[in-house]
Structure 1
Amino acid sequence: MNVFIAAISLAVVLGLAFCFVLAVTEVGRALGRRIGGRPIDPAPSAPPNPAPPPDAAAQELRMRYARGEISREEYLQRKIDLEEF
């Protein structure tokens, strides 16, 4: 009879321990979702690189070439000169 009571007691203790581990895990997940309004990301990705701002000098050079104010050779040379900066 004592063995039966011991087995029942062991089953109850193991069941309670399992429920405790489940509860702690779920509380951790819930807290993780509340931090920042989203789950904690173990490896956050870097934000994408923003596009560089348009170069006003290069834009003006393109416009002058498009209007026919400068020749192709002059355009190409000035474009090379601007890229050095």
Structure 2
Amino acid sequence: MTYWNDHGMNGWGFGLMAVGMLLFWGLVVVAVVLVVRHLVQTPQHPQGTHPSPPPERVQPEQLLAVRFARGEIDADEYRHRLEVLRSGDSSPTG
């Protein structure tokens, strides 16, 4: 008597095993994606609170005054550039 196929897997067993492995690895991939998204996600503001407003844009004249205050440009250059800014002339002066 031979017992080659009596207790082994048949075609259905191989098919169910393949489907089971696809489901398993699909669940593993979904779990990894969800964990990564949860860790990377920016914190949400609690209900009823508002995020701080974006910082105001620095005006060119303010930036010029800061450069003058730091000593990056001298008084003559400051006055000249301020005059150019106020006149609306946007051509480069070198």
TM range (shorter): 0.3 to 0.5
More helix by share: 1
